[in-house]
Amino acid sequence: MPEMTYLEAISDALRQEMRRDPSVFLLGEDIGVYGGAFKVTKGFLTEFGEGRVVDTPISEAAIIGAAIGAALNGLRPVAEMQYIDFITNGFNQLVNVAATIAYRWGIPVPIVIRGPAGAGVGGGPFHSRNPEAWFAHTPGLKVVYPAFPADAKGLLIAAIRDPNPVVFLEHKGLYRRVRQEVPSGTYVVPLGKASVVRDGEHMSIIAYGSAVHQALEAAQRLAAEGIEVEVVDLRTLVPFDEETVLASVHKTGRVLIVHEANRTCGFGAEVAARIAEKAFTALDAPILRVAAADTPVPFAPSLERAVLPSVEAVLAAARELLRF
């Protein structure tokens, strides 16, 4: 298997699906001639032509609206938000239109809205958001947030083939930082299946996206102290793999939830509620969360580090749980 970065795996997924299925096409700002802001689609225009790699005006509402129209006419569009923050400009098309069409008309809307999310790269408040909770709260949308290259490829292929609208979040800080062997050719990871990426018996850390890597580093450091932490990577937020999460809770009895989005009404709150409702008697300690502060992400690196979750914060919360 070739080794790929997170970015290369996403690019490979798009390329594989476009080669396999002529109904798959891409649209977004600067994705053609320029190859995308992060170069995910570099070279695609040459291979697939301007009919399938469409440079759009700077209008997220138009991009998502055009994707919906194309999907209703038998195509499978993959729309890129140059930064996922600007998905807010197309919020109505996604939440009020795409998410409700299957319910209202009984017609599938196979669109994928993908783009770079997350902070930690000095992007400031307009280029650092983790907006997954907005869309997890919207019936009719699926929400995916991979942490590893192989999962990014497999989940994106699954998302493109899914008949429902899928919001596919890619942490920009992982694009070139994380490398992994990735299966060649077509490789599908089913939506709605979490992954236990580290086994343990003393506590569970439930995470997704960039937070999985913080959880794994914290777990490795705790292992040196004789504490074995189980790390569950959700991978898909909607559908939510409740079974895997609850199995881990029953195994360890202690739960820490970690995500980079801000704390209040973050997706971690939903995870905590599910555990409290369905596995309360298995708990030996309160459910704790580590998340970003409830503030826009600052531009200054020192301030950005201060508001984001860190390995040290995960370790502190883990030790608090273990002392209970």
12-49: pLDDT as tens digits: 999 999 999 999 999 999 999 999 999 999 999 999 99
102-143: pLDDT as tens digits: 999 999 999 999 999 999 999 999 999 999 999 999 999 999
Whole-angstrom CA distances from 6 to 45, 156, 196 are 21, 12, 19
Would the pTM of this model clear 0.95, i.e. be above it? yes
- What pLDDT is recorded for position 78? 98
Residues annotated as part of the active site: 127
Sign of the Cα torsion 290, 295, 297, 301 reads: negative
Domain boundaries, the chain: 3-181, 195-323
Angle, to 10 degrees, between the axis of helix 210-223 and the axis of helix 311-323?
50
- What pLDDT is recorded for position 193? 98
CATH topology of domain 195-323: Rossmann fold (3.40.50)
CATH topology of domain 3-181: Rossmann fold (3.40.50)
Q: Could you tell me the two tokens for 210? A: 């960039």
139-191: pLDDT as tens digits: 999 999 999 999 999 999 999 999 999 999 999 999 999 999 999 999 999 99
Burial degree of 158 (CB within 10 A; 0-12, 13-18, 19+): buried
Evaluate whether 296 touches 125 at the Cβ level (below 8 Å). Answer: yes
Domains 3-181 and 195-323 share a fold: yes
